[in-house]
Amino acid sequence: MENLSYHLVTGKFVISHRLRCNFDFFMDQVLAYLLISASSSAATWVDEWQSNWGKDEFMEMVIASVSMAFLAFVAFALNSLISGYILCTHDSA
């Protein structure tokens, strides 16, 4: 998004066109792995919390939050596939 804003103001790109596909793919991978790691650790915490203190309204909100994080991971995984496809079919010219 910053790259688009910068381009609209200055007419130049922050990252060169050749590196942009690599950068997009790399960032998609990093964010997807961070998100799935955080989601899985939160899911483990939810299970531990429920076994010790039972289920209440707060736990239902936490479960919904963890579920949304897993759905966000699915979206990032699909985005990573698209970025990988663009990276592999990118024309160097």
| 33-51 residues labelled b (16+ CB within 10 A) or e (exposed) | eebbeebeebbeebeeeee
pTM over 0.85: no
Give the pLDDT score at 3: 64
Give the pLDDT score at 93: 47
Cβ–Cβ under 8 Å, residues 75 and 41: no
Give the pLDDT score at 19: 83
Q: How confident is the model at residue 20 (pLDDT cuts 50, 70, 90)?
A: confident
The pLDDT tens digits for 81-92 are 998 898 888 765
Specify the range with the lowest mean pLDDT, choosing from 7-21, 25-39, 64-78.
7-21
**For residue 92, what are the CA distances in angstroms to 3, 12, 87?**
20, 19, 10
Cβ–Cβ under 8 Å, residues 24 and 86: yes
